[in-house]
A and B are shown apart, each in its own frame.
Chain A
Amino acid sequence: MIRVELLRIARRPRTWMVLTLLCGLPVLVAVFVAVTKLAPQPGQGPAFLSAVLSDGSLYPAAGLAIVLPVFLPVSVAVLSGDAVAGEASTGMLRYLLTRPVARTRLLLAKLIGTMSFVLVAVILVAVTSYITGVLAFGSGGLRPVSSSASAGSIASPVTGTSIGGTISTSLSGTPLTTAQLGERVAYGIGYITVSMLGVAAIALFLSTVTDSALGAALGALAALVTSEVLATLDAASAIRPYLPTNYWLAWIDLFRQPILWHDVQRGLAIQAVYAAVFLGLAWANFASKDVTG
């Protein structure tokens, strides 16, 4: 069933459309920035974007920062919300279950399918962003760049990678080799993929509750928006560390020297908790559910 699900996702036109859109956004941003040479000031706009003018090979990080806050979670919510409810509304669910596919296995296949999509999407965004970045801004990995880097060193200074002014100092000036940068990007891809686990689990749970794929996706998005709103609210600061979106940007710490693991670890733990709770609920609901759709 898992293989079938992956095959089905791969053969679905919608999958490719979402991937195209996801990869297209960083390209669009790159075109604007490259044409105007107007990068956001350090501390404003998506992370890393201010640094890419001087080094195109940093653009994968910028590209990920562009799609992460909204675009990626929205597509995850839509796909995961469709996972069971979509099958139910077309009637395929009853034919899969009578084939038979065990219900637990079906849920597992759906989750693996969604997460595989996220992984592929994140990798594709990183790759297309790298190509775009190098084409538009030149590669900084092979020549000295940036006033802050010492002359002659193979350096990729990540300066002012802050969002909302929470990050200020850190790694400015410390050089990263291309190999290090590659490693950090790989870590980032992994972390971002895991970051989507919470949304995917919430949407999958809602997908087992309703037969409307749209309803499930909207429900998951509502949870996300709530989380994002509460994250900015000082009055809600007590629960902030437990919000699913709170550590989403912790992957930026992976680009510091040395890597700051604290938030990354917290982020992974939070995602694990959300995944466990909502997958548990999804399983409990779906395993004993009357399939009438």
Chain B
Amino acid sequence: MITTHQVTKRFGAVVAVDGVDLDVREGDRYGLLGPNGSGKTTLLRMLLALIFATSGEIEVAGEPIPRRAARVLPRIGSLIEGPAAYGYLSGRANLALLDAAGPGDATGGRRTRKARIDDALDCVGLGGIDRRPVRAYSLGMRQRLGLAAALLRRPQLLILDEPTNGLDPRGIREIRDLLIELNSDGVTVLLSSHLLGEIEQLCTRVGVLDRGRLVIQDELDRLRAPTDRVLLRTPDAEQAAALLDGKVDVREGDRLVVRAPDAAELNARLVGAGLRVEEMVRERRSLEELVMNATGPSADRFDAPDAGRSAPPNGSAVPDDATTPDGETAPDGADAATPDITTAQDAS
């Protein structure tokens, strides 16, 4: 659906997006993660031909951007950096005006306009909105109206930049359910966020941007695959450590981190030796740790020169070649499946 090849954008001396090979497949719910200022919004704007790339190629729905943007854009719904509307008009009037401004082709048109506006407003939970001007809308209502505008033309692709900004937890959940439902109807969703939880609960694929570079891009399930370690909690920690000698990576009080590919077998072995097991769970990499390891400090953080060294503990711990653009995690010593997360856990 979206492929970019070595897309780079410079603003003067600042490289906002640096050689990104984005690959969003049809039917994906793709989450773009990254700290503030990592280039998420710039990248999304380039996909919509609002910003022109300094170099590289962009293809959306099979058409080159920005050259054939006019052919693709009618099939894309977007919400970039917050919603916008004319404050002196009602929500409906805003949607009608916006729709009338676009081409009256197969994706839109005057005859279907009213029905499409009603549908879009229903979708985002504004079906019963009155005629008050947008000026009087709350932040959450504006956000919903912005989403309605994105849905107006029943797009095949949704490009959403921080779509749940300003919504309360219930609103966030509604939007998440809406996006999942749309996606099951065949709409590809590309959204950016710095809220890891949101991406974790919604997306099937994840890309992580750090200082303009795409450092991770992979299926969420694969990124969060279980490691071959087991987190174990037992009152008989001493004996367990002795029994599993050489396989215990970390020991803290009654908690152990044990290298064991099969948790059930480990459990049987412990119980067989008469040791009590209080808790036992396969270790999974969390998205947060992955992102923290893959990214540096936020671009909105400016440390004093002397204090700078001690700032983020795991900042840029992963060398740049730790992941290849298509998301395969590079081998990390003997333990190929486990990236540098161990360091994060050791530290905690």
Contacts of B82 in A (CB 8 A): 91
Cα(A237)–Cα(B165), bound, Å: 59
Among B45, B74, B86, which residue has its beta carbon within 8 angstroms of that of A292? B45
Contact of A100 with B103 in the complex, beta carbons under 8 Å? yes
Contacts of B85 in A (CB 8 A): 90, 92
The A65-101 residues at the B interface (CB cut-off 8 A) are 90-92, 94-101
Cα(A91)–Cα(B48), bound, Å: 14
Supposing A100-B102, A101-B101 touch, asked if A95 and B84 sit within 8 A by C-beta, the answer is yes
Contact of B97 with A100 in the complex, beta carbons under 8 Å? no
Among A13, A90, A92, A98, which residue has its beta carbon within 8 angstroms of that of B73? A98
Contact of A291 with B84 in the complex, beta carbons under 8 Å? no
Contacts of A291 in B (CB 8 A): 45, 50-51
| Nearest A residue (CB) for B77 | A98
Among A8, A94, A100, A290, which residue has its beta carbon within 8 angstroms of that of B86? A8
Min C-beta distance of B182 to chain A, whole Å: 18
Contact of B50 with A97 in the complex, beta carbons under 8 Å? yes
Cα(A186)–Cα(B269), bound, Å: 101
**Is there a chain B Cβ closer than 8 Å to A11's Cβ?**
yes
Cα(A94)–Cα(B149), bound, Å: 12
The B30-77 residues at the A interface (CB cut-off 8 A) are 45, 48-52, 69-70, 73-74, 76
Contact of A98 with B76 in the complex, beta carbons under 8 Å? yes
**Total A residues in contact with B, Cβ cutoff 8 Å:** 24
Contact of A91 with B83 in the complex, beta carbons under 8 Å? yes
Contact of B103 with A13 in the complex, beta carbons under 8 Å? no
Cα(A12)–Cα(B94), bound, Å: 12
**Is there a chain B Cβ closer than 8 Å to A7's Cβ?**
yes
| Nearest B residue (CB) for A1 | B101
Cα(A100)–Cα(B68), bound, Å: 11
**Is there a chain B Cβ closer than 8 Å to A262's Cβ?**
no
Supposing A1-B101, A99-B98 touch, asked if A92 and B50 sit within 8 A by C-beta, the answer is no
**Is there a chain B Cβ closer than 8 Å to A288's Cβ?**
yes
Cα(A146)–Cα(B82), bound, Å: 65
**Is there a chain B Cβ closer than 8 Å to A225's Cβ?**
no
Min C-beta distance of B67 to chain A, whole Å: 13
Contact of B70 with A98 in the complex, beta carbons under 8 Å? no
Min C-beta distance of B168 to chain A, whole Å: 22
Cα(A279)–Cα(B93), bound, Å: 30
Contacts of A290 in B (CB 8 A): 11, 45, 50-52
Contact of A92 with B86 in the complex, beta carbons under 8 Å? yes
1/0 per residue A1-45: CB within 8 Å of B? 101100110011100000000000000000000000000000000
Cα(A184)–Cα(B121), bound, Å: 52
Contact of B98 with A96 in the complex, beta carbons under 8 Å? yes
| Nearest B residue (CB) for A102 | B70
Contact of A94 with B100 in the complex, beta carbons under 8 Å? no
Residue of A11, A94, A291 with highest tally of chain B CB at under 10 A: A94
Contact of B50 with A94 in the complex, beta carbons under 8 Å? yes
| Nearest A residue (CB) for B66 | A288
| Nearest B residue (CB) for A91 | B84
**Is there a chain A Cβ closer than 8 Å to B81's Cβ?**
yes
Cα(A291)–Cα(B9), bound, Å: 13
**Is there a chain A Cβ closer than 8 Å to B78's Cβ?**
yes
**Is there a chain A Cβ closer than 8 Å to B237's Cβ?**
no
Contact of B73 with A99 in the complex, beta carbons under 8 Å? yes
Min C-beta distance of B120 to chain A, whole Å: 14
Supposing A100-B69, A100-B74 touch, asked if A11 and B98 sit within 8 A by C-beta, the answer is no
Residue of B50, B78, B93 with highest tally of chain A CB at under 10 A: B50
1/0 per residue B96-133: CB within 8 Å of A? 01111111000000000000000000000000000000
Contact of A292 with B48 in the complex, beta carbons under 8 Å? no
Contact of B100 with A3 in the complex, beta carbons under 8 Å? yes
| Nearest B residue (CB) for A96 | B101
| Nearest A residue (CB) for B72 | A100
Contact of A292 with B51 in the complex, beta carbons under 8 Å? yes
Contact of B70 with A95 in the complex, beta carbons under 8 Å? no
Cα(A239)–Cα(B72), bound, Å: 49
Residue of A1, A90, A288, A292 with highest tally of chain B CB at under 10 A: A292
Contact of B149 with A95 in the complex, beta carbons under 8 Å? yes
Cα(A99)–Cα(B86), bound, Å: 15
Min C-beta distance of A57 to chain B, whole Å: 38
Contact of B48 with A98 in the complex, beta carbons under 8 Å? yes
Extra A-B contacts (11), CB below 8 Å, given A4-B100, A11-B88:
A1-B101, A7-B97, A90-B84, A91-B84, A94-B48, A96-B98, A98-B48, A98-B49, A98-B76, A98-B80, A100-B74
B residues at A contact (CB < 8 Å): 11, 45, 48-52, 69-70, 73-74, 76, 78, 80-89, 93, 97-103, 149
Listed by A's residue number, 8 A-B pairs whose Cβ atoms lie within 8 Å are A1-B101, A7-B100, A91-B81, A97-B50, A98-B49, A100-B74, A101-B101, A292-B51
Q: Which 6 A-B pairs have the closest CB atoms?
A: A91-B84, A99-B102, A100-B73, A291-B50, A290-B51, A4-B101
